[in-house]
Structure 1
Amino acid sequence: MTYHLAGDSTVADPKPDELPLSGWGGFLGRYVEDAVRNHAFGGATTETFLAERWLPLLDGVEPGDTVLIQFGHNDQKEPELLAARGGYTARLRGMVEDVRSRDAHAILCTSPERRWFDGERITPTHGDYPDAVRDLAEQLGVPLIDLTVLTTWLYEDLGPAASKDLFCHFAPGEHPVWPAGKEDDTHFHERGATRIAAYVARAVRAIERADGNLPARGLELMG
């Protein structure tokens, strides 16, 4: 069995010259027993992923595999083509149908929240997109991993200061790719990516145990 990942930069593998910046998919393999094929890439929308990576992903999907699908960060920047209740969910629906046609299992994920604090509370930044995914998952009978809720809780639990360590904040001269420094509350430091990956693995394990159509694999988690 293989896990296949479709998503944007918050899911993508790290680029060697950009470490410690990474998406959570780059560390999922630490927490699952089976192979992980990560097709996610920076800037991806449902539209660009379908055009550039979806067919190669599907070509590798075997019966019984699981495909985790997470978009929204970039789709919300194209509200006419990829409206939450329009092109965005239509494309997600098509992805789920394609996965099922391979006798494989789809799992939808809402987007990790951005670390935008207003006092001690996180400001939601994805509009209707998370609710659209939640509703689509219910309509299609697809398992959902709600990373919007999970990350909002995580950041607020840590607080404005400690939660900063989950993200890529570099002082001038600290990283060669960003010599002027970087203040990024969207993209994870590997510390944050590993925490989200561990949570995704736990969620997948719970889904597998709850669904008789998915194998209970007893995934071992670190930390």
Structure 2
Amino acid sequence: MKVLKLSLFVALMLLTMPVSAQITGEDLLGLKSGADPKTERRGVIPGSSRKEGRPVVFIVGDSTVKNGRDDGSNHQWGWGHFFSDMVDTTKVSVENHALGGRSSRSFITEGLWDKVLSAVRPGDYVLVQFGHNDGGSLNMGRARASLKGYNDNDTTVVMELTGKAETVHSFGWYMRKYAKDVKAKKATPILLSHIPRNMFTNKDSVAVIRNTESYGLWTKKAAEMESVPYVDLNKLIADKLDRIGKDSIQTLYYGDHTHTSMAGAILNARTVAEGISGLKNCGLKEAMKK
């Protein structure tokens, strides 16, 4: 109960803090409660938020972006739930189409991407964050893994569940596909490295592990190859967590070392907004709250 209460305190602090504000360990103490999560935002039809021709910001990703039913019933939240709080909704609308358990590959092979893409119009924005679920088996069990790297590697496997052959590509290939598809719609893709886990370089370290040599690097390379905006969300958040301190950041996660509490999701959403605000030649920065 104390952990949950402190998480709510932290959430209020993060909601009311200016986007540009810095967060320290001291900021996490002596906070007042009062933050209430928004009403549920699940089952949104792609493009249904479009009003008066304003651009739509579509978000796709995994459970660190939209967790469960997106109502906090399991005390876990994704940052996509709170991202609309960071933007001027008179300029853009926000739709979170992420889904837990999906990888860069399975979000496409399950047809989820086609549904989102069908609603994308010129001038829209699509935020893409994957990587947490891109490991594991290529063809057994959940069979959602992509090949490591960013080059055009592929292999053909026989899927255990269906007995059918499937060509599996590299993580970078899938990320480039998202970027290419969005650009073909004359919209703007923004690729993001995935959020850091509550894990450290060693048991005595206060340094959060980065993904700069794996999925973060491959996402960055995909963005460079397609000449699209890239936000190193993993590093931006990890740098904040290092400043907050190992003990204090425990309230930003819930249940495991990957999924965030309300406070953690708000911190991550705010960091996404900061990252976008720092981009060059990206019109979405003009819609970020100051």
TM-score normalised per structure 1: 0.83
Q: Determine the structure 1 residue equivalent to 2:222.
A: 136
Say whether 1:105 aligns with 2:188.
yes
Say whether 1:189 aligns with 2:244.
no
Say whether 1:82 aligns with 2:147.
yes
Q: Mean Cα displacement is larger for which, 116-125 or 156-165?
A: 116-125
Do the aligned partners of residues 164 and 215 (structure 1) sit closer, same or farther apart at CA in structure 2, a change above 3 Å counting?
closer
* Matches of 1:81 and 1:200, distance apart in 2: 25
Aligned partners of 1:72 and 1:111 also within 8 Å:
yes
Give the gaps of 5 or more residues in structure 1. Answer: 169-181
Do the aligned partners of residues 158 and 128 (structure 1) sit closer, same or farther apart at CA in structure 2, a change above 3 Å counting?
same
Alignment of 1:34-53 (within 5 A): 34-52=92-110, 53=112
CA RMSD, Structure 1 to Structure 2 (Å): 2.0
Aligned partners of 1:76 and 1:84 also within 8 Å:
no
- Three-state SS of the structure 2 residue aligned to 1:46 is coil
* Matches of 2:289 and 2:146, distance apart in 1: 41
Say whether 1:5 aligns with 2:62.
no
Aligned partners of 1:72 and 1:126 also within 8 Å:
no
Aligned partners of 1:12 and 1:24 also within 8 Å:
yes
* Matches of 1:126 and 1:101, distance apart in 2: 29
* Matches of 1:10 and 1:109, distance apart in 2: 12
Aligned partners of 1:76 and 1:126 also within 8 Å:
no
- Three-state SS of the structure 2 residue aligned to 1:77 is coil
Say whether 1:73 aligns with 2:132.
yes
TM-fit CA distance, 1:94? 1.1
TM-fit CA distance, 1:55? 0.8
Aligned pair count reads 204
Give the gaps of 5 or more residues in structure 2. Answer: 1-54, 139-144, 154-169
* Matches of 1:13 and 1:36, distance apart in 2: 16
Deviations 1:182-218 (A, max 9, x none): 3x121010101011111212222333xx31x636524
Task: Select which of 200, 206, 209 maps to 1:123.
Answer: 209
* Matches of 1:125 and 1:131, distance apart in 2: 7
- For residue 56 of structure 2, what is the amino acid of its counterpart? T
| Greater helix share, structure number | 1
* Matches of 1:88 and 1:112, distance apart in 2: 16
* Matches of 2:261 and 2:245, distance apart in 1: 17
- For residue 247 of structure 2, what is the amino acid of its counterpart? A
| Greater strand share, structure number | 1
TM-fit CA distance, 1:17? 5.5
TM-fit CA distance, 1:92? 1.1
TM-fit CA distance, 1:104? 0.2
TM-fit CA distance, 1:125? 6.0
- For residue 54 of structure 1, what is the amino acid of its counterpart? W
Deviations 1:10-33 (A, max 9, x none): 111562263531110010011112
The percent identity for this pair of structures is: 29
TM-fit CA distance, 1:78? 4.3
* Matches of 1:149 and 1:135, distance apart in 2: 15
* Matches of 2:61 and 2:83, distance apart in 1: 13
Deviations 1:112-138 (A, max 9, x none): 111112221223468522111112212
Q: Determine the structure 2 residue equivalent to 1:220.
A: 289
Aligned partners of 2:211 and 2:217 also within 8 Å:
no
Say whether 1:166 aligns with 2:221.
no
Q: Determine the structure 2 residue equivalent to 1:173.
A: none
Do the aligned partners of residues 13 and 27 (structure 1) sit closer, same or farther apart at CA in structure 2, a change above 3 Å counting?
farther
Highest CA radius of gyration, 1 or 2? 2
